[in-house]
Amino acid sequence: MLFKNQYRIESTRLKGWDYSSPGRYFITICTGDHECCFGSVRNGKMDLSDIGYIADKYLHEIPNHFPFAMVDEFIVMPNHVHVIIQIKNNPGNQRGGGFDGGRDAKYCVSTPVNIPKTQCNNKNTFGPQSGNLASIIRGYKTGVSVWCRKSNRQFVWQPRFYDHIIRDEKELYFIRRYIRQNPACWDKDEFVTQKIS
């Protein structure tokens, strides 16, 4: 799409939805070129690589850095991550929630991050961010990327992420089940590739 005579990529976010509003969001984040950097599936279970271990560890740590967010069901797959993130009432968000004609989360700006030199000795810090879904994902992706760079691991994320707003408990149930069953269904997964790193 043209904007001021330059092409720009349209946002994949739902127009008019405030992504800092309370709710549950089903997120899929892929590795660059769908390379299998996070490990492999063996007998229907994930066997995490070093990078996969960090991707898993940093998912657990999201609430430490974003107190308004909770991590529900999640799985680190060979070349992507599925996670349900719940945003609770965020004191930093004074605009209310839901459809308010508010900003597009894509244009929020993140702040620098500070990641530990080793994967186990220090606490991971994503750094202060704005209080919306995009800032959570950006902080998480940056944390994993910085760890890889400092550990001399070749790694890159796909630039965007997929999100789905979970509307009710029935949908939540089916998405949780899908996430739990993902390793057992890996050979049928749309993200399966032959690229192994």
How far, rounded to the nearest angstrom, does the alpha carbon of residue 52 sit from its chain's CA centroid? 13
In the chain, the number of structural domains is 1
Residue 12 has pLDDT above 80, yes or no: no
For residues 35 and 193, is the Cβ–Cβ distance under 8 A?
yes
Place of tokens 């929020």: 108
Examine residue 104 and state whether it is found in any structural domain, yes or no.
yes
134: in domain: yes
The C-alpha atoms of residue 147 and residue 113 are separated, in whole angstroms, by 11
Residue 187 lies in a domain: no
> What pLDDT is recorded for position 152?
95
pLDDT, one tens digit per residue, over 40-94 is: 999 999 999 999 999 999 999 999 999 999 999 999 999 999 999 999 976 555 4
**Mean pLDDT value of segment 10-28:** 73
SS3 136: helix
**Domain extent for 60:** 13-93+100-180
98-156: per-residue pLDDT in tens? 333 333 333 232 323 333 333 333 344 454 456 789 999 999 999 999 999 999 999 99
Q: Is residue 175 part of a domain?
A: yes
What average pLDDT does this structure show over 33-46?
Answer: 94
Could you tell me if residue 50 is inside a domain? yes
pTM of the predicted model as reported, rounded to 2 decimal places: 0.73
- The residues, ordered by sequence, that sit 6+ positions from 121 with a Cβ below 8 Å of its Cβ are none
pLDDT at residue number 136? 94
Residue 194 falls within a domain, yes or no?
A: no
Taking the C-alpha atoms of residue 22 and residue 6, their distance in angstroms, rounded to an integer, is 35
2, pLDDT greater than 50: no
Residue whose structure tokens are 């974003």: 66
Domain assignment present for residue 81? The answer is yes
For residue 85, the domain's CATH number is: 3.30.70.1290
